[in-house]
Amino acid sequence: MTEEDYRLENENNKFSKFGTHTAINVNSILDISRMEERVESNANGLVIYQGWAAIGSSETEAVWLISKLNYDANGFFAGRVWADGEDTFDKVWDSADTYTYDY
């Protein structure tokens, strides 16, 4: 795992008080060795969207699990929400910013 992966995993673990669904430790539901990850960051370098799919998946296929990370006014991680409120592998990565995000 990269340093960024460890950072996100630690944030997920720290914020488990928000509930296992909203701050899920993605390693617990994914076999990371068989998945590829995409991230989109904002101008401050904070990861906003994070997605996973089977290795070799196209970013235009509806096979992605996508989450949005929220931050407070100070830039601290405040929680994770899911595309269309579902933690399912049926989203399109190229459309990450068009979904409604909820718990």
pLDDT digits (tens, 9 = 90+) for 67-80: 999 999 999 999 99
Mean pLDDT over 16-41 rounds to 63
Of 69, 32, 39, nearest in space to 54 by CA: 32
**Stretch 51-71: mean pLDDT:** 95
pTM above 0.75, yes or no: no
Q: What is the number of structural domains in the chain?
A: 1
State the residue range of the domain holding 9: 3-102
Query: What is the CA angle 40-44-46, rounded to 5?
Result: 45
Give me the pLDDT at residue 55, please: 92
Whole-number Å distance between alpha carbons of 66 and 53: 9
Answer yes or no: is pLDDT of 41 > 60.
yes
- Given a cut of 60, is residue 49 above it in pLDDT? yes
Q: Residue 4: what pLDDT?
A: 58
Distance separating the N- and C-terminal Cα atoms of the chain? 26
Has residue 16 got a pLDDT over 50? no
pLDDT at 24 over 60: no
